[in-house]
Amino acid sequence: MDIRYRITGGVPLKGDITISGSKNAALPLIAASVLTEGETVLTNVPFLRDIKVILKILDFLGAETSFVDGTVRIRTHNLQSKPIPAEYVSKLRGSIVLLGPLLARFGVVEMSYPGGCVLGKRSVEAHIAALTQLGAEDMSTDEVLHLQGTLKAGTIILPEFSVTASENAIMAAALTPGETRIEMAAAEPHVQAVEYFVQKMGAEVEGIGSHTVIVRGKSTLECKEFRVPADYLEAGFFVIAALVTRGKVRIHDFEYDHLISFLDTIKRMGGEWKYDAAEKVLLVDGELSSLKATRVKTNIFPGFPTDLMSPMGVVMTQATGVSRVFERMFEGRMAYLYELEKMGAHVEMLNAHQALIIGPSQLKSATVTSNDIRAGAAMVIAALCAEGETTITDVRYIERGYDHLDEKLRSLGAKVEKIEIEDPAEVAEKIAKKQMQTAAKNLS
């Protein structure tokens, strides 16, 4: 099924919106349920395909799962570690977070290499490095990830600030008795969520939110209920959407501490916002904002988030002057700029990681595609402030990361239509199958 958005731009967004739970936090929190024998309950879980995929993987391993009205229940009494085939993990890069929990609980984990968005080379070396430093034996091949062995507490020095490798290390250490020290740990909000969760389950954790984390693990952990934190990336999306449409939006369940660098950048650009800490509400006033060019470099938390760089590029098309973007993390992240050029953006690519964006530009309607989750979000924002009707293809990427995005935008007054078109290959397959059934019936 080909899913598209048809968006008529030029409508200021106005009203209130509540941010959904974070997918990037929900996936490792679901994986952490593997560390216990019993029922784990997670609330505020976003309704996304990736969530359903990881639950299917747990079902395959023998868990009993349910997902109703934002609440996920996972019962792991009969869970076992067995080879996870490509059909389960090839579409979900996030399935890599099962490595640590499965290894820690069962002493063995085997799976095909995970897939997901194409953002340049994203190796698994940091994960293997973390777990082998705890005593695991790496038996992986070119086709299969395979680690086994009884883990022992110790020191992990990660080769990079990898979010998911940090999560794997934290979860594995939580179920490994003794003190494990993790150096160069990532500190993003979703990593912190995992740290708070394993702490609630019974492990002792020091250095939450820092790059040196100490975990005193236990031989058994307790099943708990935990609320998935709000998605700071979705929150950033709505901040930008309000600015470029000259709208006025109140964003609820907004975690200010998760977006300090981002909000500082918005303020430096001339964006007007006001935060109510008591209510956790951010008011963004695009009507009063006067955007000017700036320079942005992505960085590890609490620096500017790489996942907000693509939407930020759209803001820069509406700012006066020459802006410069420097994407440190992924060489494939800048591809969305070519789609923006189709809409009339003035872009000069300097190299795979840097570009100049000259504004302001009146974006025009076009047919553009979603190269990945965040690039798709950028195309939606561009369409919202463009003249005319823009069609965005490959929306399946967008809907992997944003919970009911089209509905939320419509609630703010946006003109967004979701279109589902059957894939020609699927249609041909259905016709062929029907013809075969008819032929077989005639013969009988």
CB count, 10 Å around CB of 405? 23
**Cα 362 to Cα 345: distance, rounded to the nearest angstrom:** 8
How many residues comprise the chain? 444
Longest dimension (CA), the chain: 76
The closest of 316, 310, 312, 296 to 339, measured between CA atoms, is: 310
Picking from 80, 23, 84, 83, the residue whose alpha carbon sits closest to that of residue 57 is 84
Q: How far apart are alpha carbons 366 and 361 in whole angstroms? A: 15
Q: Do the Cβ atoms of 217 and 190 come closer than 8 Å? A: no
> Nearest 5°: phi and psi at 436?
-65, -40
* Residue keyed to tokens 């990660």: 158
Of the residues 117, 165, 381, 386, only one is catalytic, namely 117
CA distances, 358 to each of 40, 316, 338, 380 (Å): 50, 7, 14, 20
CA pair distance 409, 63, nearest whole angstrom:
36
Tracing tokens 């965005």 back to the chain, one arrives at 392
Region of residue 359 (left: phi > 0; alpha: psi -120 to 50; beta: else): beta
Q: What are phi and psi of 117, to 5 degrees?
A: -65, 145
**What is the C-alpha to C-alpha distance for residues 6 and 3, in angstroms, rounded to an integer?**
10
Which amino acid is present at 173? A
In the chain, the amino acid numbered 109 is: V
385 is catalytic: no
Alpha-carbon distance 325 to 436, whole Å? Answer: 55
Q: How far apart are CA 183 and CA 210, in angstroms?
A: 9
Burial class (CB in 10 A: 0-12, 13-18, 19+), 249: buried
CB proximity list for 298: less than 8 A, separation 6 or greater: 304, 305, 306, 309, 326, 327, 328, 329
Q: Residue 170's closest CA among 22, 25, 330?
A: 25
Percent of the chain as helix, strand, coil, to the nearest 5? 40, 25, 35
Q: Which residues are catalytic?
A: 117
